[in-house]
Amino acid sequence: MKILVTGGAGYIGSIAAQLLIEAGHDVIVLDNLSRGRRELIPEKAHFIQANVAQVGNVITHDDHIDAVLHFAAFSAAGEAADHPEMYWKNNTVESLQLLDTLRKLGIKKLIFSSTCFVYGNPAVSSIDEAITPNPINPYGMSKLAVDMAIASECAAHGLGAISFRYFNVGGAYKSFGERHTNETRIIPLALAAADKGKPFYLYGDDYPTPDGTCVRDYIHVVDLVEAHLLALRTVALGKHEIYNLGNGRGFSNREIIESVEAVTGRRLDVRIVQRRSGDPATLVASSAKALKELGWQPKRQSLENIIGDAWKFYTQPICTEQINNRGAK
């Protein structure tokens, strides 16, 4: 298949592009590099530097795109609370423009990167897809709006689509991993603090959880991406399916800290600061639907696997020539 990957210079998108290539697909990566990184674009991908809203200007019928994997988005809950307008424009408005382009070009398959933040803070121990979404943060709101638009597009115009609602993603694959200019995710932040001997700031220790810190479901990025490859085989025209992707087990922020210390062999200087706006206390997935309907089976479920692979990526050298050349077509 010929597949367009939006946000393919980002963390998850780049690994998806690489695994698609290894599976024999022809991949076009579209990324504006505002937050993506050129060195993460797979060497065998054709790269187009553009915004999602510009897809209609850079992709034509002659490109014969079979499917789109749409990863491009802003994804920091704290930033979304402070600057919601950025999230509505970048995540929602540009995704609506992408749907218009897919319709015009006759592209009938879409895999969308959604989020568990659409559920808000449900009072259940395990979140499944039947729970009514109730986002409490503009990030989750912006993604839920796109989920709803996709469902309408499928019903009205025959698009076949799958939305994956991610829980927390970690780990790395070969030379692909998390490397953000302004990092917000706990695992890379903790690894950087361990590496540099700098303080690690823990946002809140007074949540209604066993140790007072947020509890999250962490899934290895390769397990997550493998679900997308399975989805390409099962997506049905005229239907919109939603699947949670998670480990099914919650880990607290303190457990993350302990695992980082164990993997790196270094003690973290943990400093407690005020909670971040819009952070739910607990988010843990039920992925039973994906296991049953996609035949998906996560294989890298331990924190040691997730954080160990992230640490290997974090400590590997970056080749300047590789950064300059990768993805340049």
The ranges assigned to domains in the chain are 2-325
Instruction: Write out pLDDT tens, residues 272-313.
Output: 999 877 677 888 999 999 999 999 999 998 999 999 999 999
**pLDDT level of residue 326 (50, 70, 90 thresholds):** very low
Residue 185, pLDDT score: 83
- Alpha helix (H) ranges present in 158-287? 186-196, 221-234, 253-264
Lowest mean pLDDT among 16-30, 124-138, 312-326: 312-326
| Those residues with Cβ within 8 angstroms of residue 78's Cβ, 6 or more apart along the chain or in another chain | 184, 276, 277, 278, 279
Lowest mean pLDDT among 36-40, 120-124, 211-215, 225-229: 120-124
3-state SS class at 324: helix
Q: Which of 139, 218, 243, 314 is catalytic?
A: 139
Q: CATH for 2-325, among 3.50.50.60, 3.40.50.2020, 3.40.50.720, 3.30.365.10? A: 3.40.50.720
What is the per-residue pLDDT across 31-67, written as a single tens digit (0 to 9) for each? 999 999 999 999 999 999 999 999 999 999 999 999 9
Is residue 218 part of the annotated active site? The answer reads no
Cα angle vertex 35, ends 34, 39, to 5°? Answer: 100
pLDDT of res. 123: 80
- pLDDT: which is higher, 180 or 200: 200
**pLDDT recorded at residue 180:** 64
- The position carrying tokens 């999602």 is 52
Mean pLDDT for the stretch of residues 126-152: 96
In whole angstroms, give the CA distance from residue 158 to residue 103: 9
Confidence of residue 316 (pLDDT cuts 50, 70, 90): confident
pLDDT value at 260 more than 80: yes
At residue 78, the pLDDT reads 84
Residue 102 CA to its chain's centroid (Å): 21
Q: What is the pLDDT of residue 276?
A: 79
Please tell me the predicted confidence (pLDDT) of residue 318: 64
Question: How confident is the model over 69-117, as pLDDT tens digits?
Answer: 999 999 988 899 999 999 999 999 999 999 999 999 999 999 999 999 9
pLDDT for residue 325 is more than 50: no
Tokens representing residue 226 in the block: 């493998």
- Given a contact cutoff of 8 angstroms between Cβ atoms, the answer to whether 256 and 186 are in contact is yes
Q: According to the model, what pLDDT value does residue 317 have?
A: 79
Backbone phi, psi, residue 249, to 5°: -135, 140
Give the closest residue to 69 by CA, choosing from 13, 153, 114. 13
- Where are any strands of DSSP class E within 198-317? 199-203, 215-220, 240-245, 250-252, 269-273, 282-283
Q: What is the pLDDT of residue 286?
A: 95
Average pLDDT over residues 141-154: 98
Question: To the nearest whole percent, how much of the chain has pLDDT over 70?
Answer: 95
pLDDT band, residue 179 (cuts 50/70/90): confident
Give the pLDDT confidence score for residue 181 in this predicted structure.
65
Distances (CA, A) of 316 to 173, 175, 176, 177, 304: 12, 8, 10, 11, 18
